[in-house]
Amino acid sequence: MTRSRQLLFPCDHPAQRLDAFLAEALPDISRAQLKKLIDNQQVICDGAPTKASFKLKGGETIQISLPPPQPLEAIAESIPLDILYEDQDLIVINKPAGMVVHPAAGHSQGTLVNALLHHCDDLAGIGGALRPGIVHRLDKDTSGVLVVTKHDSAHQHLAEQFRRHSIKREYLALIHGHMSAARGSIDQPLGRHPVHRKRFSAKARNSKRAVTHWSIIDNFEQEKFSLIRLQLETGRTHQIRVHLSEAGHPLVGDPLYGKRAELNNIKDHQLRLLIRQLPGQALHAHSLGFIHPRSGDFLEFSSDIPAPLRHIIAYLRKGASAPD
């Protein structure tokens, strides 16, 4: 059965292309799917079908006819999950570093979705055949708190919160170097890198506003490392990793935005061994807060820093407290 969504383009919103607005308003639907809906005249603007390039100026009513949820195609696998909370609407997971969120090319098995399909007998297909219930994601090697929805209504509710940037997200990260102040913000638009297609950059032609707030927890003179707290105002792909790297403070262990020489230049042999045990970048999604789609209550969940990163921090703190 076809489902319908109605959106209102705000009168006070800057003019914007139809496809760009839909991509922001419906983050659970891929750009390719949106283009297909527009081309098939399943997107109606003020009563008439239109083109993806149509410029919205304010006050337009947009009706989208969505196909029914696709049948699940990912394979259920018995993979242990660290469940922080679960009810009939959603499930909150502490994702380990090294786990991919949903199946994709090169990662058809062993993902969070494969594990969820085995655990949940009430997981709907909203979000697509390979992304059931996935309303946001963490990079493969980023650990921490992630919420997954179980049905269409909860998915729409959480997706809207993410679109409005009202979700509370706090990360902990170990970085190279010392920031210039106790706290601050990075406001740099991000888009896909013009040359390296797996990377994102502030130098991209087609970029979107991205804002990361940070504050210092600890500065370590040993090897000039810092432990910082980050809060996301927006949630672009690789946002924290790119913002910190382009600010000159890449995440420790980041294979994509860091530099191999930074690890090789660490003089402390034990510290270098500890860093080599990291599965990837030293980034942990420490807490996540949102409005529950059914009760309307604000819920917040947190998880401890995983052992490999915790051991590095403990080693650095021990060095900082050692007598001269």
Q: Which residues are known catalytic residues? A: 139
- DSSP secondary structure, 67-93, as one string: PPPPPP-SPP------EEEE-SSEEEE
Record the tokens describing residue 187, joined without a space.
């406001």
DSSP-based three-state secondary structure for 296: coil
For residues 163 and 166, give the distance between their C-alpha atoms in angstroms, rounded to a whole number: 8
The set of residues, in sequence order, having a beta carbon less than 8 Å from that of 138 and lying 6+ positions away, is 95, 101, 144, 146, 285
By CB atoms closer than 10 A (0-12, 13-18, 19+), residue 122 is exposed
C-alpha dihedral, 151 to 152 to 155 to 160, nearest 10°: -160
DSSP-based three-state secondary structure for 242: helix
Q: For 87, how many CA atoms within 13 A lie in the half-sphere containing its CB?
A: 7
For residue 170, give the H/E element and its range.
strand 168-176
Catalogue the long-range contacts made by 119-123 (C-beta closer than 8 Å, 24 or more residues apart).
119/81, 119/83, 119/91, 120/91, 120/150, 122/88, 122/150, 122/151, 123/72, 123/148, 123/150
CB atoms closer than 10 angstroms to residue 22? 26
Per the CB < 8 A criterion, the answer to whether 257 and 140 are in contact is no
